[in-house]
Every structure is written in C-alpha cells, then in structure tokens.
A and B are shown apart, each in its own frame.
Chain A
Amino acid sequence: MTTEDPDDRALWAQAAAGSGHAFGVLFDRHAKAVYNHCFRLSASWAAAEDHLQATFLLAWRKRDRLRLERDSALPWLLAVATNVVRGDRRSAARRLRLFHRVPVEQPVPDHADLVAERVDDQRRMRELLAAVNRLPRNEREALALCVWSGVSYADAAAVLGIAEVSVRARVSKAKARLGRMFAEQPQVVPLAALTVEDR
C-alpha cells in the first residue's frame, strides 16, 4: 500500500475541508486536460494558460458548494473552464468595443519549431471556432465537452444540470449543423470522441 493516487472524490473532500495540497494534486492531475479544453475554446495557448489558472482559482472558491458525485472531477472542472473562457470572451468583447480594434494575430517570437507548431495550432483552431461559434451556445458547449474533451454524456449531463438525453440531442444537432457547414470542405471537424488525457 502506498499513499499515491488517492481518487478525486477523496481529494475533493480534503480540498473542501481546506487542504491546499489536495487541491494541488487535483491540479496536477487535470491541468493538461483543462489547458487543452481552454485552448479549444479560445484558440490561444497563452490565453489557455491564464484560463487554466482562473479555472482552478474559481473551482477553489466554489469547492465547498460541490460534493463530487462522480469518480472524476474533470467534467466539473471543464464546465468551470467553459464558464471562465466565456466570461473572458465577454470581457474581451467589451474591451474591443471600447478600443475599436482587435489583435487578430498575437505576436509570437518565431524562434523554435515548438512556437511555429503552436502558432499553427492557433490558426487552425481559430478557423474551427469560427464555424463552431455559429452554433447555438448550448450545442457548442456540449460539443466541446463531449466530443473535443471526451466527457461522457452522463457526466456532461450532471455538470450542465440537464438530462443525458438532452446532451445527446445537443451534440447530435451540433454534429449535423457542422456537417452541413463543412459539406463542401475536403476535411471535416472531427466528430468522433477524443480520448481525454490525464483523467
């Protein structure tokens, strides 16, 4: 027996009781998944880092309001992340209206292949989001949770506070709409569920 790998429920209970370290273990376990989820919603790796931090700080503030019913805290964390990104987008839109300008392409120093890959990620993700953002918000969020981040329909239903059948319907509608949008494209948005890392 070792002290490694306590499950999320045990960690969450400890965190809710005030254990910063338990919360840190949850962070390590789910940071990568939340980071990638935030990127898919923002198309910016730099913003995803900020959103990751904001997500966990918000989760900490809400910790005593949530009793984790599921084995994994990830679905709930992804739902929090979705709200964080949405809130940030609203703030950005307000700033945009104020300053009447949008930085379309953030300047990124082109000093390594890694940077080039990430810049390419962002360009591709912006194109994808441009299409996905035309979906109704509830369909968009269901798609991001279940299809892009691999959360099960049941878990998504629990964190969104709706019936599982509704989640399925939203995802199905989102897929159908995107299918029509991309009908003329040689490639389509990946509609198969992806494996979620670090669950």
Chain B
Amino acid sequence: MNSTLPPTRDLPPGRQAEIRAEVERAVSARTSFRFAPLVTAVTAVGAVVAVVAFSQPWQRPEAVGPAQQETTVVVSTTSSPVPTKPVIAGLTPERIAEIEEGCVRIGPGAGKGTLYQYGEDEAGKWALVYTESAALSCTIDGPGMPYNAGFSSVPDLTWVSGPFRVDTNGGSAGGDILGNKEIYRGMHGSATAAGRVTPQVARVTFTYDGQTVDATIANGTFVARNIFPTDWSIPEAEGFEVRAYDKAGALLGSTTDLGKKCFVDPDGRIVDGGWNSSDPTTCDRAVRWK
C-alpha cells in the first residue's frame, strides 16, 4: 500500500474561475435581495452618448488621446445593480473620500465617485474612479493641480461587454517637450487604459506606441499605465490594443475584436456596441459585472 499523501493540485483549468463566478453570483443575488428596496431602476431608451475620452487640453501638459474617440449607442439599460464597496488598501477612508470628491469635481463635476484603484508610478499618483455613469482616470498631486481627470461615459455599469471593457483611456506627453510649461519639466509621459473585467480575467496587457505593459487588476477593474520618457510626444499614428487572458494564459479577447461587436443583456436588448441598425440577434451576450 502506498500511503504517501497525494500532491497538492490546482483545480482543473477554468474551474476556479467558474466556481468563483458561481459564488459571486450567489453572493450578489443575496446582497441584492437584502437591499432590494434600495435598488433604483434606471431606464434609458435610445440615448446616444458621445464619449469624451480625454480631459480638456489646458488641463494637461499636452493632453492628446492615444485612442480614437468612441461613440456608444445605448438603446436600453436594465436595473442598476447594488454596488459593492471596493477594497482599497493603504488609504484611510478620509483620503479615499478626498480622492473620490476631487476627481469627480475636476472630471464630470457631478455624481458620486467611488474609488476602485489607486497607485503610484514614475509618472505620479493615479486613481480609477467610477460614478454611476462615467469612468475617471485621475491623476493626483500633479504640478499645479491636486486632481486632474479624463473621463468617459459608461453606458451601464451592470454589464461588461465580453471579458473586459476599456472604459477610459488617455495620455500625456512628457514634460520636457517643446512648448510645455515650466512646471511640467521632468515629468514622464504616460498613456493609460482602464476599465472593468470579469472574474475569469487573470491578466490584461496594454500596448501603445510599441510598448506593452501588464495592468493591475483589482476590485473587478484594471488599470494599465504605459510610462514613457520625459521627452516623449504623442505619436502621430493613433491606436492601441488591450488584451485579456485567463489564468491558463489563453487569450479571452482584445480591443481589436471586441470593438467590432455589439452586446445584449439577457433580455436581448443591446447594452453596448453596435449602432441603431444593429440586429440584436447578431450580438454577443454581455456579462454581468456587479
């Protein structure tokens, strides 16, 4: 008889993500039930939302977007989910509240902000904040401005269009390029892509201007920051790519593919992508985010 304890093993490929998704679904259902009276149904029919991907030019050294501006058609949305509180380590509740308030004030100017990610890198401090209808890529404690935010409208936070959705993207040239103000000297250039992911996503990469970085993934969101030299300028040719992978390293999707698709909720209504002429039966199913 071989009485050696069998080795420790991973779950079969994909099973951990499946079980986690099932657990999160059950957990979310219970949360929704508990707070059901507080849920507000939000319906928007036929609204066309122009997405402004970047903040005003005067707010940045040279604020130019690495990606094309997007236009998103929202035909209809369903009930908003009950938001769960993101986990932010290392910041006091007071500091989190300051960031949420500061980023929203400089960004859309209205709405209740919720901080989903916060970090620091060579280009400075950054935060990802969501309101009920917008995603904000915010820089903090920059020269001359305590907060600065580029933001994009998000059709419906309930749904993610596929394995991930890029909700906001933008960039800043380096502080040493010709014509920049003195206060920006020595600042690194940066390009940021941020958005939401489904639980099966284990890795997100962001490629821009020939440089690829891994995103940080937390609280159901991702933030990828490509940092460039201080004399880096926004390239003439625009375009970027974000890719998502599962734990086994399999590609789940890329912006190149997802950008061509439309997505529907379980009722068959288009919640993202496509245009008025899109046939919902040709769309993919959106994934519940929260």
Contacts and interface: CB of A to CB of B under 8 A. Distances in A.
B84 interface: yes
Contacts of A35: 9, 11
B6 A124 contact: yes
Contacts of B117: 3
A21 B20 contact: no
Contacts of B91: 1
Interface string B49-92: 00000000000000000000000000000000000111111110
Interface residues of B, number: 44
B5 A189 contact: yes
A121 B7 contact: yes
Interface in B110-153: 117-120
Contacts of A7: 89
Contacts of A190: 4-5
B87 A20 contact: no
B223 to A, nearest CB: 9
Could you say which interface size class chain A belongs to?
35 or more
A5 interface: yes
Nearest to B28: A20
Contact of A14 (B5, B11, B28, B87): B87
B27 interface: yes
Contacts of B218: 3-4
B11 A187 contact: no
Contacts of B199: 24
A76 interface: no
Contact of A124 (B2, B15, B27, B119): B2
20 contacts: A1-B118, A3-B87, A3-B216, A4-B216, A7-B89, A10-B87, A10-B89, A14-B87, A18-B35, A19-B85, A28-B20, A49-B12, A49-B15, A49-B19, A53-B23, A121-B9, A125-B6, A187-B1, A189-B3, A194-B8
Interface of A: 1-7, 10-11, 14, 17-25, 27-28, 31-32, 35-36, 39-40, 45, 49, 52-53, 56-57, 60, 118, 120-122, 124-125, 127-128, 131, 148, 182, 185, 187-190, 194, 197
